[in-house]
Amino acid sequence: MEVIIATVLCVIYFIVLERSVWGRQIHAMGMQRSASVLAGIRVNRVLVASYIAAAVTCAVGGLIAAASIRMFTPLSGFSYLLDAIAAVFIGAALHPRGRPNVPGTIVGVLFLGMVTNGLNLMGLNFNTKDALSGIILVSALALAVAQRKMHSR
């Protein structure tokens, strides 16, 4: 059931971010906020709406996590923070223009899931997993910066 909910959310976000005016406004604000203001985008309204959408998505994720472990602890999602950031940057590194996107983020999540599963099968401790996730994150950032420099030429 969790996979179905995540798939539905990914499809909705892909359609909204890639095919709607609101998605274009969000991308414009992320690229250059001052130009968005000059273009007539109500930056504060779009920013608040995007924060609300992110909060609703996080709430759904929290409900899924609490349901799967059958209990609630306030810091239960903290261990996923580095993986989430790394997945987004891996997805941005895969995009031709170096911007975050839904399909790239899905690839990043699957890649990090495979790395985590492989480390668990090897019997390594969680500190090694966090260190490797940090190395992957730094590598993805370096790749994204190199890609941006190549595109700017």
Residue 153 pLDDT level (bands cut at 50, 70, 90) = low
Mean per-residue pLDDT of the chain: 85
Residue 9 pLDDT level (bands cut at 50, 70, 90) = very high
- pTM, whole model, 2 decimals? 0.78
pLDDT at 57: 92
Least confident among 10-19, 104-113, 114-123:
114-123
Residue 68 neighbours by CB under 8 Å, 6+ apart = 2
Name the CA dihedral angle for 74, 59, 65, 136, rounded to a multiple of 10 degrees: -90
